[in-house]
Amino acid sequence: MSPHILLYGANGYTAGLILDRAREAGVPLIVAGRNAAAVSHIAAEYGCAARIFDLDDPHTVAANLNDVGVVLNAAGPFVHTAEPLARACLQAGVHYLDITGEIPVFDALMALDGPAREAGILLMPGVGFDVVPTDCLAAHLKRALPEASHLALAFRGLNRLSRGTARTAIELGHEAGWIRRDGALQRVPLAHKCRTLDLGEESVEAMTIPWGDVATAWHTTGIPNIETYLILPPAAIRWIRRGARLQGLLRFAALRQVLQALIQRTLVGPDSQARAREMTVCWGEACDTAGHCVHARLTLPNAYTLTAWTALEIAQRVLAGECPPGYATPAGCFGPDFILAFPGATRVDLP
């Protein structure tokens, strides 16, 4: 297996944080993407080799991976990039990772488990904030309550979005919410359910959102009923629930294009000072059919900072052969305590 890690979508905001982390850690990367000028500039800035290619032709993509051991895809929306890049990895015999949080992507790559095993490669989408910490939290709760039948996960953070995160929200915003019920993915209205959560130090309000763990936590834990929540002020939840009536407008491609262009011109991710100030909190609850429940809370650094750390660490571990081939989740491969290895990550079991 080649020792090289290729970072695709290297000119994005989160990719820049991954590059900074790699430079700090002394990990060489190959940078890649379809924007020749941007990728070449980044390669010169970081002293990296560069590859310029788009994902239209699988054979061209595979040819650019012939000396690569791991692909780390940071080019969102991943609904457009994950599957073609993963299929090229299957052809080239290269491990595939990405930082998606998109349920359709997890579902599509899960379906490639068999071919990945045959090819001897790993497919692990979601090696960033979504879903590493919440996946580890789900596995921890399953360990505490092995007969759990229901799982709820929530988080607070991402106060300021990167362009990529915002573009993904627009691209998939016309879709309904998702939950998992009796083992199957099920569409529900956006913000269809709200509840009060006890974080141990405070009570907060949260609403359901289609977060990636609806797909991945089932694979990690086998818990058949899963809901995911975003913690927000009550006024914001009321505003979003009213605005959900306009969600269907995002089905129109022309409107999505206008919003994407606006995002590209105006939005940047949080700077280093904002990331240093902002902490992220994840909360989880697992219950069994007898009514027994366990709860836990994770306190973490900024979500984008954490993504850079976890993505690079997982890429190095996969390159070292720590995961068997096939489709995998972070906690499924590295265990529920993996998240605690990162600076500022603490876990508390709640009464």
- Please give the structure tokens belonging to residue 60: 């061209």
* Residue 162 to residue 222: CA distance in whole angstroms: 32
Using one digit for the tens of pLDDT, what is the confidence trace for 110-153?
A: 999 999 999 999 999 999 998 999 999 999 999 999 999 999 99
Contacts of 190 (CB under 8 A, 6+ apart): 176, 177, 208, 209, 210, 240, 244, 247
Instruction: Give residue 319's pLDDT.
Output: 96
Q: Are 226 and 209 in contact (CB under 8 A)?
A: no
Q: pLDDT tier at 49 (50, 70, 90 boundaries)? A: very high
Tell me if the pTM is above 0.85: yes
User: 5-127+306-334 adopts what CATH topology?
Assistant: Rossmann fold (3.40.50)
Greater confidence, 163 or 340? 340
Q: Name the residue among 37, 83, 38 with its Cα closest to residue 15.
A: 38
Q: Are 177 and 184 in contact (CB under 8 A)?
A: no
Query: What is each CA distance from 258 to 80, 221, 248, 249, 250, in whole angstroms?
Result: 18, 40, 16, 12, 11
Greater confidence, 212 or 242? 212
Average pLDDT of the chain to the nearest whole number: 88
Q: Name the residue among 281, 107, 72 with its Cα closest to residue 186.
A: 107
- Please give the structure tokens belonging to residue 197: 């959560």
User: How would you classify the pairing of strands 203-208 and 280-287?
Assistant: unpaired
Using one digit for the tens of pLDDT, what is the confidence trace for 302-324?
A: 999 999 999 999 999 999 999 99
Regarding the domain with residue range 132-303+340-350, which homologous superfamily does it belong to in the CATH classification? Dihydrodipicolinate Reductase; domain 2 (3.30.360.10)
Above 70 in pLDDT, residue 251?
Answer: no
Instruction: Give residue 165's pLDDT.
Output: 46
For the residues 289-301, what does the mean pLDDT come to?
A: 97
Using one digit for the tens of pLDDT, what is the confidence trace for 149-204?
A: 999 999 997 655 444 443 444 344 445 689 999 999 999 887 789 999 999 989 99
Query: What is each CA distance from 199 to 107, 220, 299, 314, in whole angstroms?
Result: 30, 24, 10, 29
Greater confidence, 181 or 257? 181
Q: pLDDT tier at 45 (50, 70, 90 boundaries)? A: very high
Instruction: Give residue 42's pLDDT.
Output: 97
Q: In the chain, what are the domain boundaries?
A: 5-127+306-334, 132-303+340-350
Percent of the chain residues topping a pLDDT of 70: 85
Q: Are 313 and 320 in contact (CB under 8 A)?
A: no
> In 201-216, which positions are buried (b, 16+ CB within 10 angstroms) versus exposed (e)?
eeebbbbbbbbbbbbb
In a 10 Å sphere around its CB, with 0-12 CB exposed, 13-18 middle and 19+ buried, how is residue 93 labelled?
middle
* Residue 281 to residue 96: CA distance in whole angstroms: 28
